Amino acid sequence: MLGLEEASERILGALRAVGTESVALGEAQGRILAGDVTATVTLPPWDNSAMDGYAVRAADLEGATRDRPAELRVIEAVPAGGFPFRALGAGEATRVMTGAPIPEGADCVVRIEDTDGGERIVRVHDARDAGRNVRPRGEDVREGDVALRAGTPLGPAALAMLAALGRATLEVGRSPRVAIFGSGDELVPVERFAEVREGRRIVASNGYAIAAIVRAAGGVPVDLGVAPDDRGAIQALFEAAARADLVVTSAGVSVGAHDHSRAIVEQLGAVDFWRIAARPGSQLAFGNVRGTPWLGLPGNPVTAIITGALFVRPAVLRMQGARAVHRAPMPATLTTSIARANGMTQLLRARLVRDRGGWRASLTGSQSSGRLASIADADALLVIPPGGGSLAAGAVVAALPLAGAGPMLERLSTSLDA
């Protein structure tokens, strides 16, 4: 069986970006930049003040103290958005606001707090930080520099940079269309919950979870519903799903009498691998249906969500051209001992709390793969490497943050305020 890393590499190595499209800057949040962005201007375009104060010559401030301040004549005031009209001479100062250009002749800025705030004559009593208060021309980016690389996810900072560079429209990775369906005679959509109350059916919750994972990663989920445990019905959905950019199914990849998905994929395309050395998640499958990549997730709800987070999310990002597709693990200290499993990497659901010693991880109760509460209450997956024996309380393990880890952030805020 493949390990987690090898399975991920096999999947990502088989995927290609699905194309690009142009979007307005205001609609680009969360998208993936399709090409390098080269600056066509220099930012900032001039030396400017980092704070409210006075633009001066350093030579005029030598020896200035509170008892013997340097006295300078104020020749003009320049607001942010304005420009100085006069060059600075010896013994002169220009009042400047934050962001205002520095006049010719000035080489530093004195904070207003280090002066008496004079309007015609200003007395400077502390010049120690004056040299730090100028933002030099081109400090941010220079014309011709690559400001952002292809594959960059467009969050607030990247969007601000693109706006500053005048990029009103952007070329981004096209959002892949991801066909999603499940199979099982017992499954019904949430609208038929009355049948669940009667004890005859189960809500097909996996589809909603997988669609959310796809949407959060920038893809477009195409919900094809649920097929009964009938080979013909399942094959018809596979045929329809192959028109998308990626096919994701849940259930049907094991060895039961009603598990038809692998056999159908082998008929319509190819199965690259089936089974990985992870628990939960060992029944993961990957291949293609008529050339369209296919990820077959296990049917247990918790396992579908975990494999969706570990494999579907990176796949959707990679198909948009993203370079970094995995969440970075962080170290967490176990609050209880954990038995290891020979030959299997365990993926355990946990809540994280931060104290002065770092992150501490506590399991969310029973780790049954059918217990949705175990992951609904989780902030992270603990990655427990295979081996014999146990990891004792106090051992440090890798924790992979889960999407929607709001409770963890709330606890972080509380712990830091304590």
| Residue 18, CB-side half-sphere exposure with 13 Å CA sphere | 21
Q: Tell me the helix, strand and coil percentages in the chain, rounded to 5.
A: 25, 35, 40
Contact, 7 vs 138, CB < 8 A? no
Q: From residue 407, give the alpha-carbon distance in Å to each of 209, 403, 413.
A: 18, 11, 10
3-state DSSP assignment of residue 130: helix
Q: What residues in the chain have per-residue pLDDT under 70?
A: 254-259, 404-418
Report domain 48-135's class: mainly beta
Reading the block at residue 250, the tokens are: 């849940």
pLDDT of residue 385: 93
pLDDT of residue 406: 45
Domain boundaries, the chain: 4-16+175-318, 20-43+140-173, 48-135, 330-417
Tell how strand 70-78 and strand 92-96 pair up: parallel
Q: What 8-state DSSP symbol labels residue 350? A: E
**In Å, how far from its chain's centre is CA 155?**
8
What is the number of helices (H) and of strands (E) in the chain?
Answer: 10, 27
Which CATH superfamily does the domain covering 20-43+140-173 fall into? Molybdopterin biosynthesis moea protein, domain 2 (3.90.105.10)
Packing angle of the helix pair 231-241, 261-268 (nearest 10 deg)? 50
Could you tell me the sign of the dihedral formed by the alpha carbons of 180, 184, 185, 186, in that order? Answer: negative
State how far the Cα of 181 lies from the Cα of 207, in Å rounded to an integer.
Answer: 7
pLDDT of residue 410: 47
CB atoms within 10 A of CB 212: 15
* Greatest CA separation for the chain: 93
**In Å, how far from its chain's centre is CA 246?**
21
pLDDT of residue 396: 97
Pick the CATH number of 4-16+175-318 from 3.40.50.300, 3.40.980.10, 2.60.40.4070, 3.60.70.12: 3.40.980.10
Residue type at 37 in one-letter notation? V
Contact, 49 vs 110, CB < 8 A? no
pLDDT of residue 418: 41
pLDDT of residue 196: 83
**In Å, how far from its chain's centre is CA 95?**
43
CATH topology of domain 330-417: Beta-clip (2.40.340)
pTM of the model: 0.86
| Residue 9, CB-side half-sphere exposure with 13 Å CA sphere | 5
pLDDT of residue 257: 53
